[in-house]
Structure 1
Amino acid sequence: MQLDMESREEQPSQAQSQAQSHSSVQSNVRTKTDIAWEHVTQVVDEKGKKAWICNFCQKVIGGGGINRVKKHLAGIKGEVVACSKVSPEVRFTMQGKLKETAQKEKEKRTTSVTILDDDEEMEEIEMSTVKKGKRKSTSNLHPFFTKGINDPSQPTIKSAMQSKAKIHDVDLAIAMWFYDACIPMNACNSPFFQLMVDKIASIGYGYKAPNYHALRVNLLTDAKKSVSLIIDSLRSQWVDTGCTIMSDGWRDVSQRHLINFLVYCPKGISFLKSVDASDIESNATNLCNLFAEIVEMVGEKNVVQMVTDNAANYKLADILLLLGLHVQRIVLILYLSELDNVKSLVNLASRVTIFVYNHKWPLNWLRKRPGWKEIIRPGATRFGTVFISLQSLYDHKEDLQAMVISNEFKKMLKVGNAVECKQIVLNEIFWKNCLITVKVMTPLLKLLRLCDSDEKPAIGYVYEGMRRARRGIKELFKKKKELYRPYTNIIDSCWDRIIYCAAYWLNPVFQYDHANLCKKNEVFQGVLEMVEKTFKGDDVLNITLNLGRFRDAEGTFGRSSAVASRNLTRPDEWWKLFGGDIPVLQKFAIRILSQTASSSGCERNWSVFERIHTKRRNRLEHQRLNDLVFVHYNLRLQNRLKVDMRSYDPVDYENIDKTGFWVVEEEREGELNYDDLENMLDEQEHEPASESQGDHVDHEVDSEFQLLSDREIDAYNTPISQDP
């Protein structure tokens, strides 16, 4: 009996020791597997206590466990000295781990509070049920049916309606805040809007929103740090793939010359800064210093090229030549829209659209026509909108002519510019010039849309697209130099061919298409020039000697998988997969083929940047306002690809800016009601590229050119009389 008692007493103690041992093992396993331990070395100090030495800065971290190690690596000051030599990737990872830990602890606290509140609520309901709902059962039915609608323990229609009323009250409170603060309605489309609401709901009743000072100082600083971590994650890609600095020079309403700088790599676009260059635009030395500062911020070895769409006020190419950068000046559509005949045609077309969209009767009459689509449909850029609108206007030629010759239109002749509109619509020369301009511009717009891709680097397809567009324009005008040269000269002047030649030659889509490969000497010369600009010494010789192996598909370049994926894989990705036999050549090809071919990332509403460079009504200090714009624009860039940009909101002020020339009269600005517009983008306008980018260029560019008749060619450039 005594033995039984002793054995029973021993069992709990054994169970306890086993539990403690199991807990210790779990702790040790967790400790050993934590990612932070990879970056420190465990030692024992003079007192016999454990300490850790950072593998980056060699500083000793004593006590506190893994949490202090993570804070040291994450650069969070306070409890421990921040590491000054940790890599951006490790710092970003550690900060993410600390945030996860803090979030889990917060969720545990929130869950415990919620459970406590629910228990108290249940006790109140049970007490109420005992006092008021106590009665005998009168049948064998399930209690749910016997309690009736008046039983307080059953949710009633009244209580359900009350919950809907509460939701409506919350919705109304949010709406009232929008209205009171004059916040645009489309702000609710921000990916952070619902996230904000969820965070507020998760923390529970009693949460107090941050005040003006917190938003202005502390939280803005924290937000900038978070966004900077995103930029750091992109910065690590710049070393491998190289990057493109995109600059957008423009003038605000005060005629100040502002320049915005962004950086492109295949993983994303990031905004660097905005600069007021009004005082230095005429001084080449100061401009050179400005661009040198930007290059230094990005890293000279990381920069492959600079792309700009506005260099009219200074010789940017000469300045950047001093920095050893390759420069691209993508202003094709701007130059084309400034041709005299195109400019005159666009002005006449805009008079028609302004008349239609500023008078109710013409717009209503046209909308009743079968198969009607809105004339004005915005493109990706305001210059693209010009030619898209010309195409749309030409498509509505019959509808517009039917309107102006109808009996009802006679009543409109005394209104506004009705007579002028009628004369333009009935002028056949106007329509023929519209047709020719559209035929010339359509393939060029498609080429630019190919170049404007943010998701896929398009630089490897630009040379072939230019080549086909140039040849097609010549055929369009039946090789009459006086007609096609204004267009081909612009194509030649807008693109520097060196980097495009190199990208074309290194693109497996075209290199192994022997029947159509351009064999001009300038193509291979472009490759050699880019090699000499990018590398020095033995690397230049190594690359030059191995270019033939790529051309002849030797080694891994000739593997069956490499051959099969030439037209299915992005060129830069193809080189990553199959260029490993020649690492230096692989690096060169990836850096060239990973670049963008345009500055489309700059095509945004820049009005927010005007506030940075003005002193009027500036409540934030200059640096804080810069931080605000830095956070705002980078968040928008990161979320750009997640949002379906094909849907067009007629009350979206950024898109209205692109179409204003076509729908707003200067002397009557603001009278147009945009709520009635159904400006949907043409599906073909935003059609994704085919799986084979090479086929995309071949078919989309060439198929658009249809030869003009001799009569149409003779009529082209004829001055347009407004007499019908």
Structure 2
Amino acid sequence: MESNLTPSSGQDSTTNSQSTRSKIDPAWEHVSEERYANGRKALICLYCKKITKGGGIHRMKQHLAGVKGDIGPCKSVPPDVKFRMENSLQEFVNSKKAAQEAYECRNPYGPNVSQFEGDGAEGEEEVQQMQSPMAANSGKRKKSTVDKYFAPRNTQGAQPSMRSVLAGKEAIWRADMAVGRFFYDACIPTNAVNSFYFKPMLDAISAIGPGYKGPNYHQLRVNLLKDAKKEVQLLVDSYRAIWAKVGCTIMGDGWTDNRQRTLINFLVYCPEGISFVKSVDASDIVKDATNLFQLFDEVIEWVGPLNVVHMVTDNAANYVAAGRLISQKHKHINWSPCAAHCLNLIFKDIGKMDHVAELVRRASKVTIFVYNHVALLSWLIKREGWTEILRPGATRFATTFIALKSLHDHKHDLQALVTSKFFVDSRYSKDYKSQVAVSIILDNRFWNDCLIVMNLMSPLMRLLRIVDCDERPSMGHVYEGMYRVRLGIKKLFNYNKRLYKPYTDIIKQRWDQQLKKSIHSAAYWLNPCFQYDQENFCNKPNVIGGVMDVIDQKVLKGKLETMNEMKLFRDRLGSFGRELAYSSREVLQPDEWWRLHGYSAPHLQKLAILILSQTASSSGCERNWSVFERIHTKRRNRLEHQRLNDLVYVHYNLRLKNRFYNKNRIYDPIDYACIDETDFWVVDDDQPAELDVEELENLLYEEGSIPINEVEGSSSHIDDEDGGDVAIEGLDVENFGFPNAHVQFPYSNFQNE
């Protein structure tokens, strides 16, 4: 071993001795330091001459204290030296423990994870220890510049050490628990984490660090609310340029809440987005058309009368009268009732027909039969491909027919259940109500009628989704949609007038007497997708008459030029004659098509863009009603009126902004969110069903305004509920609507109780 060490020169000995005397650790008095020929250091115990090549003075101190582990104990050390080394080690442990306790008091949620990315502190300490002898030997020698070619370990993206991973997991758990405790204590719905602003909030807090304390009650209630309103106002103001360019639709709708107040929401629609204006408690004025007109006129003046192309509201008699007054004062503004509301009334009217209502009643008995018996439901869940049976909503009548479609999808599962040995041998087969449900499940006439209703309603479902969609303007599709709905019903009944007339009469009455307006006819005529479909295009006088009415209302200058340009569009002349214009008519949105291909008819182009950029539905109001009602509860009655309006204004516009940007979570007009609210389908008065986990959570926390992620899972039904082009071969449409024959109960051991 001695041959591996080089004797030190006088200068080196002087330097080493000075370095040794400069050490403050008491162990240096009992250790000598030598250096290898290659420059590496070695520590030698003065008592047993043991040489150690690593670990530093701390390891030699363990050697002198007789601590087993990293190094063997010294057998020649004097007792007093050993005692001093033991005390020194204990002091080191105590000081480290005290430092850790002090740090935990300052940082109750653990260390910042970024501190452990690559253990940067240890790396710096090692660099200093390596540089100190070099500095002593070379004086002014600079640090090598090779480091600049390598990323330091504490940079973002560096591979973390095991210690950082373990510390990071604990820190994340502590942070998650802190968030969870806040949610549970304040009774915040857990689906609030799906808010668009939840993660940005956490990112902003973590960027500041552990010193951030958050806003207080007054700041949230006053100062920050004012700042948020200013931000939202900038967003709304950014839409004004769009309103002036392509026009806008004012959407207003009313409803009656649980406290019997009539509330009206006002929103402004344009292709770039929807903005909320205000909510009004109109309980004192709703019955008077003049007062309603004044309320609507205030909103029109706020938006700018020249920017408003269309106004859509509820179709109650008082709203209709107020709409006439609006059209009288503002000649260029067209009023129409909400298309989605009219379609839902059609669903309601058809649902009231005796044979349809009886079919729905029988279907509800089957649903009650399944969901009120845990053992039967458990048997069905084990079936491959089983999904929940959808139940209708309380306010959207279309959901009743979706429930029939969902029940029909489970036909074979239900029939397999009631014919299985498990069910026949069970006590359920002897129950009277179960026998009624079994007779329905085994009745082929019942399933035949369900399939007919599915095909009957599928055209209406498609149209409802078109007119009630925020992703694109819907005005250009209403007229054609109603025509195709009636045509689809006629095809279903093989053009047998006796069979289809009861349904088409309902649609015709709602369409002709309530919904159809000149703006719908004009939008139909200006839509290139329908204009150039020569086989199906409708040339009825009322269509071209609607176009002339709209030109007379909205074209202030250049009426004759606009009418002359209609020939260019109709006959595919000028820019309309391009092959690209014809082939893209079904690909582009109608308003966008006119922007690209309508330059040969500038006057008609401007009018077409105005008309085809509008919506036909006010459903943007309906989807926000529950939020306004909750804000008016007693828990918030300390807010004065202006602050309450600011809160609603900020809330609605933030929600509308996020919904428009997040195309994957577009509102579904079929309203799956309230599908489970109708007890008629799931709860028997004599035998109530147990609540599931989701229902219990909704009772614990009032239904949150943030959409639940699981609702997205129902999107898999969206295409199916339309019914598609379900084959009608083999359907008994001739007897649909006639009383069902008596059905015998299937089991001979049944006794009527």
**Alignment TM-score, normalising by the size of structure 1:** 0.71
1:714 to 728, 735, 746: 735
Are 1:326 and 2:331 counterparts?
Answer: no
2:674 to 652, 657, 680: 657
SS at match of 1:456: coil
User: Could you tell me how far apart the structure 2 residues matched to 1:723 and 1:227 are?
Assistant: 65
SS at match of 1:371: coil
Q: CA deviation at 1:426?
A: 3.4
Match of 2:457 in 1: 441
Q: Match for 2:683: what amino acid?
A: E
In the TM superposition, what whole-angstrom CA distance separates every residue of 1:578-617 from its partner, at most 9, and x where no partner exists? 2233332111100111112323323425222114555565
User: Could you tell me how far apart the structure 1 residues matched to 2:614 and 2:394 are?
Assistant: 20
User: Could you tell me how far apart the structure 2 residues matched to 1:548 and 1:130 are?
Assistant: 86
Q: Match for 2:407: what amino acid?
A: L
Match of 1:385 in 2: 399
1:357 to 361, 366, 371: 371
Q: Match for 2:234: what amino acid?
A: L
Match of 1:685 in 2: 718
Q: Match for 2:343: what amino acid?
A: L
SS at match of 1:373: coil
User: Could you tell me how far apart the structure 1 residues matched to 2:164 and 2:224 are?
Assistant: 40
Q: Match for 1:716: what amino acid?
A: G
SS at match of 2:311: strand
1:231 to 221, 236, 258: 236
User: Could you tell me how far apart the structure 2 residues matched to 1:643 and 1:301 are?
Assistant: 31
User: Could you tell me how far apart the structure 2 residues matched to 1:672 and 1:300 are?
Assistant: 51
Larger Rg: 2
Are 1:578 and 2:597 counterparts?
Answer: yes
Q: CA deviation at 1:124?
A: 8.3
Match of 1:79 in 2: none
Match of 1:217 in 2: 222
User: Could you tell me how far apart the structure 1 residues matched to 2:292 and 2:120 are?
Assistant: 72
Are 1:398 and 2:441 counterparts?
Answer: no
Q: CA deviation at 1:212?
A: 0.7
User: Could you tell me how far apart the structure 2 residues matched to 1:248 and 1:482 are?
Assistant: 37
Q: Match for 2:325: what amino acid?
A: L
Are 1:534 and 2:550 counterparts?
Answer: no
Are 1:337 and 2:340 counterparts?
Answer: no
SS at match of 2:337: strand
Q: Match for 2:252: what amino acid?
A: S
User: Could you tell me how far apart the structure 1 residues matched to 2:563 and 2:221 are?
Assistant: 55
SS at match of 2:249: strand
2:648 to 598, 614, 629: 629
User: Could you tell me how far apart the structure 2 residues matched to 1:447 and 1:675 are?
Assistant: 31
User: Could you tell me how far apart the structure 1 residues matched to 2:584 and 2:240 are?
Assistant: 29
Is the CA contact 1:260–1:275 (under 8 Å) kept in the aligned structure 2?
Answer: yes
User: Could you tell me how far apart the structure 2 residues matched to 1:350 and 1:460 are?
Assistant: 38
User: Could you tell me how far apart the structure 1 residues matched to 2:132 and 2:372 are?
Assistant: 71
Describe the shift of the 1:155–1:644 C-alpha distance in structure 2 as closer, same or farther (beyond 3 A).
closer
Describe the shift of the 1:298–1:416 C-alpha distance in structure 2 as closer, same or farther (beyond 3 A).
farther
User: Could you tell me how far apart the structure 1 residues matched to 2:264 and 2:743 are?
Assistant: 41
Match of 1:20 in 2: none
Are 1:595 and 2:614 counterparts?
Answer: yes
Q: CA deviation at 1:703?
A: 4.3
User: Could you tell me how far apart the structure 2 residues matched to 1:306 and 1:261 are?
Assistant: 10
Is the CA contact 1:258–1:277 (under 8 Å) kept in the aligned structure 2?
Answer: yes
User: Could you tell me how far apart the structure 2 residues matched to 1:721 and 1:230 are?
Assistant: 63
Correspondences of 1:288-299 after superposition (within 5 Å): 288-299=293-304
Q: CA deviation at 1:278?
A: 1.8
SS at match of 1:640: helix
User: Could you tell me how far apart the structure 2 residues matched to 1:681 and 1:610 are?
Assistant: 26
Q: Match for 2:485: what amino acid?
A: A
SS at match of 2:734: helix
Describe the shift of the 1:714–1:616 C-alpha distance in structure 2 as closer, same or farther (beyond 3 A).
same
1:375 to 389, 392, 396: 389
Match of 2:37 in 1: none
Q: Match for 1:334: what amino acid?
A: L
2:545 to 513, 525, 529: 525
SS at match of 1:271: strand
User: Could you tell me how far apart the structure 1 residues matched to 2:123 and 2:191 are?
Assistant: 42
SS at match of 2:200: helix
User: Could you tell me how far apart the structure 1 residues matched to 2:299 and 2:743 are?
Assistant: 51
SS at match of 1:250: strand
In the TM superposition, what whole-angstrom CA distance separates every residue of 1:421-446 from its partner, at most 9, and x where no partner exists? 33433344433322221111012101
User: Could you tell me how far apart the structure 2 residues matched to 1:286 and 1:639 are?
Assistant: 34
Describe the shift of the 1:564–1:718 C-alpha distance in structure 2 as closer, same or farther (beyond 3 A).
same
2:192 to 179, 182, 187: 187
User: Could you tell me how far apart the structure 2 residues matched to 1:720 and 1:600 are?
Assistant: 42
Note the residue ranges of structure 1 that are not aligned, 5 or more in a row. 1-113, 136-153, 689-699
Is the CA contact 1:442–1:704 (under 8 Å) kept in the aligned structure 2?
Answer: no
User: Could you tell me how far apart the structure 2 residues matched to 1:123 and 1:367 are?
Assistant: 56
User: Could you tell me how far apart the structure 1 residues matched to 2:304 and 2:357 are?
Assistant: 42
Correspondences of 1:560-579 after superposition (within 5 Å): 560-579=579-598
Q: Match for 1:335: what amino acid?
A: I
User: Could you tell me how far apart the structure 1 residues matched to 2:695 and 2:675 are?
Assistant: 16
Q: Match for 2:560: what amino acid?
A: L
Q: Match for 1:224: what amino acid?
A: K
Are 1:269 and 2:277 counterparts?
Answer: no
Q: CA deviation at 1:133?
A: 14
2:503 to 487, 496, 513: 487
User: Could you tell me how far apart the structure 2 residues matched to 1:186 and 1:548 are?
Assistant: 55
User: Could you tell me how far apart the structure 2 residues matched to 1:671 and 1:687 are?
Assistant: 27
Q: CA deviation at 1:390?
A: 1.0
User: Could you tell me how far apart the structure 1 residues matched to 2:724 and 2:461 are?
Assistant: 13
Q: CA deviation at 1:708?
A: 7.3
Q: Match for 1:608: what amino acid?
A: V
User: Could you tell me how far apart the structure 2 residues matched to 1:573 and 1:490 are?
Assistant: 35
User: Could you tell me how far apart the structure 2 residues matched to 1:219 and 1:204 are?
Assistant: 21
Describe the shift of the 1:661–1:134 C-alpha distance in structure 2 as closer, same or farther (beyond 3 A).
farther
Match of 1:311 in 2: 315
Tell me the C-alpha RMSD between the 2 structures. 3.7
Match of 1:42 in 2: none
Is the CA contact 1:376–1:392 (under 8 Å) kept in the aligned structure 2?
Answer: yes
SS at match of 1:335: helix
Q: Match for 1:471: what amino acid?
A: L
1:346 to 349, 360, 363: 360
Between 1:481-490 and 1:208-217, the stretch displaced more is: 481-490
Describe the shift of the 1:174–1:687 C-alpha distance in structure 2 as closer, same or farther (beyond 3 A).
same
Describe the shift of the 1:684–1:722 C-alpha distance in structure 2 as closer, same or farther (beyond 3 A).
same
Describe the shift of the 1:468–1:186 C-alpha distance in structure 2 as closer, same or farther (beyond 3 A).
same
Describe the shift of the 1:156–1:683 C-alpha distance in structure 2 as closer, same or farther (beyond 3 A).
closer
User: Could you tell me how far apart the structure 2 residues matched to 1:664 and 1:554 are?
Assistant: 60
SS at match of 2:244: helix
**Alignment TM-score, normalising by the size of structure 2:** 0.68
Match of 2:150 in 1: none
User: Could you tell me how far apart the structure 2 residues matched to 1:560 and 1:391 are?
Assistant: 42
Is the CA contact 2:391–2:399 (under 8 Å) kept in the aligned structure 1?
Answer: yes
SS at match of 2:187: coil
Describe the shift of the 1:403–1:160 C-alpha distance in structure 2 as closer, same or farther (beyond 3 A).
closer
Is the CA contact 1:269–1:638 (under 8 Å) kept in the aligned structure 2?
Answer: yes
Is the CA contact 1:200–1:207 (under 8 Å) kept in the aligned structure 2?
Answer: yes
